[in-house]
Amino acid sequence: MYKRDLDTLLASKKMPNFLLLRSSDEFQNELYAKEILNFYQADMVEQIYYDEYDFSRAKLFFEPSLFGNSNLLHIKTNRYIPTKEVKQLISMCKKDSANFFLYEILETPETKVSNDFIKAFGTNFVRFFKPTTPNEALNLLNKKCTMLKIYANSTALLEIYKIHNENLNLAASELEKFANLGYEVTLENVKALVSGLSEVSFEDIFNKILNLDDFRDDFFIYTQSGSYSESDFINYIYGSFFRLFKIHSFIKINGRIDFLKLLGYTPPPQVQTLLQKQALKFSTKRFKEIFLHLNSLEFDIKTKNQIDKTHFLLAGLLELQRVIAKTK
């Protein structure tokens, strides 16, 4: 099922009693796992994490009890356990509606995906993907705020997300800090209390690339931050250009811009002005050339193993500036 289907099940209170959550985005896994665990409200809870997993222990927990308690088993790993074992655990849930089973897997580049394992859950599984737009991230951060029972306005949430270079885990940590301090998440408080881990932001580098400025020093500073990865960096650059393309297309078609309708939120006035200026800087043909170049760059980085990916990415971004600088 899709994330929106899971949201519908949670809202309608019609959750199945066994479910698989899988993603490379730890924030979304944990966010939904907490909500689902709260929903089940079982009498007995057994949580088994990573190398603690033992099939005998998990199976024993689901054995019938004289007390007739409801039992919730939560397993969290970064690998797929044997399919025959997860099938037995699911079977015990199907036979007894008082058994609840949540399997949460954090997929890493080293994780070997098991399709048979996933099929064992039938339709009771959700795969989360990293947000591709600020509006998607905003919805997730608002959900986090609801769970923390704190107030936050959209501009402030997006500012936190930007400061932490679109890292949802770091943004969520900031929200927990606000909750502990008892402060509202306003733009004023964010500017006073939030600072990023990196000296340079994605946005700084993107604007320099766009303006044909020298971004190399900033790029290498950013690569030293703990949140850097070539894949995330390309996705950010692509997403930023795609946002400009959507604005460009909307204006071309409608002769005006409606940010709320287009993006799902309204940026501050100075940001609106900048985005419109950047979006109208390129022709539709130039946007196509930019996207083709970024697609090719991403493919090479993901498929070529014998390369220095950081320097290869830098070379690709310098070539991107040459694409941007074309006059025809």
CA 266 to centroid of chain Cα atoms: 21
Q: Report helix, strand or coil for 149.
A: coil
What percent of the chain lies above the pLDDT cut of 90?
56
Report pLDDT digits (tens) over 9-32: 998 888 999 999 999 888 999 999
pLDDT of residue 141: 94
How is the chain split into domains, by residue range?
3-128, 134-193, 202-325
Q: 202-325: what fold?
A: Zinc Finger, Delta Prime; domain 3 (1.20.272)
Confidence of residue 206 (pLDDT cuts 50, 70, 90): very high
189 HSE (CA, 13 A, CB side): 16
The end-to-end CA distance of the chain, in Å, is 45
User: How far lies 264's CA from each of 131, 155, 192, in Å?
Assistant: 14, 12, 26
Q: 3-128 maps to which CATH number?
A: 3.40.50.300
pLDDT of residue 66: 59
Per the structure block, which two tokens stand in for 77?
């790993």
Report pLDDT digits (tens) over 149-178: 998 888 899 999 988 888 888 899 999 999
Task: Tell me, yes or no, if the pTM score tops 0.85.
Answer: no
Burial (CB count within 10 angstroms: exposed 0-12, middle 13-18, buried 19+), residue 195: exposed
What is the 8-class DSSP label of residue 255?
S
The backbone torsions φ and ψ at residue 271, rounded to the nearest 5 degrees and listed phi first, read -70, -40
User: How far lies 283's CA from each of 72, 263, 290, in Å?
Assistant: 56, 21, 11
